[in-house]
Amino acid sequence: MCLLSLLSLFYDAQQPSPPSPASTYPTNIFHTMRFTLRLFALAPLLRVVAAIVGESTEAKTPGFMVSVQTSDLFSDQHICGGVILGKQTVLTTASCLDGHSASKLTVKYGSVNRSELARAGLLVTQVIKHPNWSPNTKDFDIGILHLLYEIDAQGGPAYQVAKIAQTHPAITDTKSARFAGWGKTKTSNALPVILRQADVRYVSHSDCKTKYSDSVFTEQMGCLDSTASIPCDLDTGGPIMDKSMTTLYGILSYGDIACNPGSTTRPYVYSDVVTVRPWIQSQTY
């Protein structure tokens, strides 16, 4: 028997029985091969390219935030943020998941330190996009990942489950919204090792609809002021939360390409999870 087969058998023997409903999914041989070959990799290559541009500070730990990554046999690459909603469920955007199969995705969590996320990720068994998702209009930009095992089935860092708000946030002049991500700062092109966060102001639905009069703006969308801080490429899927980082109001969806605070008069658009809360909860376990 070859060494790879022996290692695969050893890996399978160490795994706990996956709980229902993940037990209905067959273990993909690609997952097992990927794990065993990584035992010989000196260091997985982690390339996180999300960005928060503008006024931001090093973040405290939002325990439900994850990095969604594409994965091959030896390396991973960050493609978007995500939020833990249940022991086997991660919320992100449908736009992030377009073109990616479950077998090529992993989820990493457990630290604000980007380098400490360079470990074997949580395996994904199912990719679900909202049935009304429209790539053209970005409406219903909501996606769900189901994981092969419960997050803590094999030990690992502590985590939180995000609580979806039951009501929409109040629109005030204060910066009551918070988002977070790994990426560029306004003074350097270097990617910070530590997760960054920024507090911004919510923009009313009517004002935002006026700003996006040349495109579709729906009830499933909300807006963030972009004059001081703005999310950027591959920040999508990251959380819009309260300052206590416990309540989730939305996930980052899209904005103007410039990614330069103050350079655009148009707010940044997020997917409103309050509006689609029943569907999200129906997909969560």
Neighbouring residues of 79: CB distance < 8 A, sequence distance ≥ 6: 68, 69, 70, 96, 100, 234
Stretch (H or E) spanning 35: helix 29-38
Residue 148 lies in a domain: no
Q: Convert the pLDDT of each residue in 83-103 to its tens digit.
A: 999 999 999 999 999 999 999
Residue 189 lies in a domain: yes
Burial (Cβ within 10 Å: 0-12, 13-18, ≥19) of residue 41:
exposed
* Whether 248 contacts 239, CB under 8 Å: yes
- Give me the domain span that covers residue 203: 163-281
Pairing relationship of beta strands 122-129 and 65-71 according to DSSP bridges: unpaired
Q: How confident is the model at residue 227 (pLDDT cuts 50, 70, 90)?
A: confident
Residue 240 lies in a domain: yes
CATH of the domain at 199: 2.40.10.10
pLDDT at 196 over 90: no
Query: d(Cα 104, Cα 80) in Å, to the nearest integer?
Result: 14
Here the tokens at position 199 are: 């507090």
Quote the pLDDT of residue 13: 40
Residue 78 lies in a domain: no
Structurally, the chain folds into a number of domains equal to 1
Residue 251 lies in a domain: yes
Q: Convert the pLDDT of each residue in 137-166 to its tens digit.
A: 999 999 999 999 998 876 777 888 999 999
Q: Convert the pLDDT of each residue in 209-220 to its tens digit.
A: 999 988 889 999
Residue 185 lies in a domain: yes
Residue 235 lies in a domain: yes
Helix (H, G, I), strand (E, B) or coil at 254: strand
Residue 216 lies in a domain: yes
